[in-house]
Amino acid sequence: MKFISFFKVRSKGKAETMADSKKADSKMESVRNSITAVKSTSQKIDDASVTLNSTSKQMVTAANEVASAVQEVAKGATEQANELMDAVNLLSNLSNEINEVNNKLNAVKDKSLETETIATNGTNIINELIQSIVDVKGSFDTVMEKFKGLSESVSKIGHITDIINSISEQTNLLALNAAIEAARAGDQGRGFAVVAEEIRKLAEQSKNSSTEIIGLVKSVTKETEEVMINSNNLNDLIENQANSANDTTISFEDIKASVKSIPAVIEDTHNSLKNAIDAKNVVLNKVQNVSAVAEQVSASSQEISASSEEMLSSAEEVSNLASAVKGTSNELNKEVSILEL
């Protein structure tokens, strides 16, 4: 349909007709200019819709990538927060174990002090025992000296009894000779014979007594020798006991020295544990801070993920609107093309 058909030429005067014709031409020119402007605008809208459609598709793609990346970040942040929480729990358990070890070390320290006291008491007792052994050995040495004196006295007694026995034998021989001489003298020698007989009897008694004494001396000598042997053995036992006591004292001193070194070692270990606890507390605080930040990052990542999902939805809406604008622009171009006919 042509716009010229809208303007019907009426039967008028020539001047009026020319004026109307100019007006119609002016209106037609205005319409043409409007159509050209509409066409230009429609083309711009079409170009813009194409650009908008392409850009919106890129936005959708980018939004998908951002949403996927944010989801991965949120997942990683959540896993990191969980791992950090596990680390916090492990550090807390470690703190409890360190405290328990510290308590046990304090108990060991107390026991070592008790052991040192016991070792000191044991050393004192051993020293008293050694002194008692020394006193016993001194007394025993005195007894041994007396036994030696007794043995020498017994030997002297044996020697004296030998002399007495020899004298009694000689006296017996002299009495026998005197009796023989008295018998030869007859009645005059009877008194002398009686005396000689008495002397012989005394000599016999002396000999018998001497023999008994010799027997006793031999018995005493034998018993003394046995006592000396046993005494020597006992002396060896006492010396061995004294040596053992000395060794025990040395062992107790070694124990005391070792036990005395334990508190210092425990103190060093205690200080090391204290430093470890302090370092653990610092690490725990930092891990807790990092854990809190990780939780915040996780929460923020989830919020960003939700926002990216909304952005993706908006981008898709923009893409749909761009497609709609493109369709409308195409329809407008068709209408403009019809108007140009």
Summarised one tens digit per residue, pLDDT across range 326-341 is 677 677 667 666 655 5
In a domain, 45, yes or no: yes
* Interaxial angle between packed helices 190-340 and 14-185, expressed in degrees from 0 to 180 and rounded to the nearest 10: 170
Residues 6+ apart with CB under 8 A from 174: 199
**Does the residue 119 lie in any domain?**
yes
Instruction: Give the model's pLDDT for residue 10.
Output: 46
The rounded distance, in Å, linking the Cα atoms of 84 and 302 is 18
| 121 pLDDT more than 80 | yes
Q: What are the pLDDT digits (tens) for 177-233?
A: 777 877 777 776 667 677 777 777 877 777 787 778 778 777 877 877 777 777 777
Residue 181's closest CA among 166, 202, 165, 195? 195
Specify the length of the chain in residues: 341
Q: Report which of 340, 339, 328, 336 is spatially closest to residue 46, judged by C-alpha positions.
A: 328
What is the three-class DSSP state of 341? Answer: coil
Say if residue 9's pLDDT is above 50.
no
Write out the two tokens for 236: 């060896």
State residue 279's pLDDT score: 77
State the residue range of the domain holding 135. Answer: 17-340
Give ∠ CA 248-250-254 in degrees, rounded to 5: 115
The amino acid occupying position 318 is V
12 belongs to a structural domain: no
| The pLDDT value given to residue 147 | 72
Q: What pLDDT score does 141 carry?
A: 78
Element holding 124 (H helix, E strand): helix 14-185
Check residue 6 and give its pLDDT.
41
Q: What does the alpha-carbon distance between residue 294 and residue 75 come to, in Å, rounded to a whole number?
A: 11
For the chain, the average pLDDT equals 73
User: How confident is the model at residue 296, as a pLDDT?
Assistant: 76
Q: Which residue has the higher pLDDT, 301 or 125?
A: 125
Structure tokens at 133: 């052994």
Single-letter code of the amino acid located at 113: L
Q: Which of 159, 138, 77, 109 is nearest to 260 (CA)?
A: 109
Residue 10, SS3? coil
Distance separating alpha carbons of residues 12 and 20, to the nearest angstrom: 10
For the chain, the maximum distance between any two Cα atoms, rounded to a whole number of angstroms, is 246
- Look at the chain and report how many structural domains it folds into: 1
For the cut 50, the answer to whether the pLDDT of residue 130 exceeds it is yes
- Can you tell me whether residue 9 is helix, strand or coil? coil
pLDDT of residue 161: 76
CB count within 10 Å of CB 130 equals 18
CA 105 to chain centre: 10
**Domain-located, residue 11:** no
Asked whether residue 33 is assigned to any structural domain, the reply reads yes
Task: Give the number of other Cβ atoms within 10 Å of residue 62's Cβ.
Answer: 14
Using a 10 angstrom Cβ sphere, with 0-12 exposed, 13-18 middle and 19 or more buried, the burial of residue 70 is buried
**Which of helix, strand or coil describes residue 208?**
helix
- CATH code at position 206: 1.10.287.950
Q: Are the C-beta atoms of residues 67 and 305 closer than 8 Å to each other?
A: yes
Question: What does the pLDDT read at residue 8?
Answer: 43
- Give pLDDT, residue 237: 77
- Answer whether residue 136 is part of any domain: yes
Domain membership flag for residue 3? no
Cα three-residue angle 279-282-286, rounded to 5 degrees: 140
pLDDT at 2: 40
Does 9 reside within a domain? no
Tokens of 67: 């949403």
> In whole angstroms, how large is the CA radius of gyration of the chain?
70
Residue pair 168/212 in contact by the 8 Å Cβ criterion: no
